[in-house]
Amino acid sequence: MARMRTTFVVLSGAGPHRDLARDTREQPLWDEHARFIDGITKGFILMAGPFEDEGGSMLIVRAASEAEVREKLRADPWHIHGILQLQSIRRWDIFIDERE
């Protein structure tokens, strides 16, 4: 039986090793982080991007559970090395979606 998937919003803030004076792509381990994200995007990440002024980010993902979200993100070099800090994972029921 297929596991039902739902949408989650993942919020991360700037970690202790985030350099707020530098752009996102200028952060330590950018290439490793980008490869990691590219590797989990298909079937998992629907939308993702940084918050411009505060060094954090938001992901919109599809998963069977919060535990699955945590497991998928566990190996992100930016979380491991404190560039980002996971703040919350919240289930999100989408009522309106006007993207084309």
Q: 6-25 pLDDT, tens per residue?
A: 999 999 999 999 999 999 99
- What is the biggest distance separating any 2 CA atoms in the chain, rounded to whole angstroms? 49
- What is the average per-residue pLDDT within 17-45? 95
In this prediction, residue 1 carries a pLDDT of 46
Report percent pLDDT > 90 for the chain.
86
Indicate if the pLDDT at residue 100 is higher than 80.
Answer: no
Q: Which of 46, 21, 48, 43 is CA-nearest to residue 33?
A: 48
Beta strands 45-50 and 57-63 are antiparallel
**CB of 57 within 8 A of CB of 48?**
yes
Token pair for 53: 């002024």
Q: 55-80 pLDDT, tens per residue?
A: 999 999 999 999 999 999 999 999 99
Q: Identity (one letter) of the amino acid at 64? A: A
Kindly list the structural domains of the chain, giving each domain's residue range(s) and its CATH number in brackets, ordered by start.
6-91 (3.30.70.1060)
**CB of 49 within 8 A of CB of 90?**
no
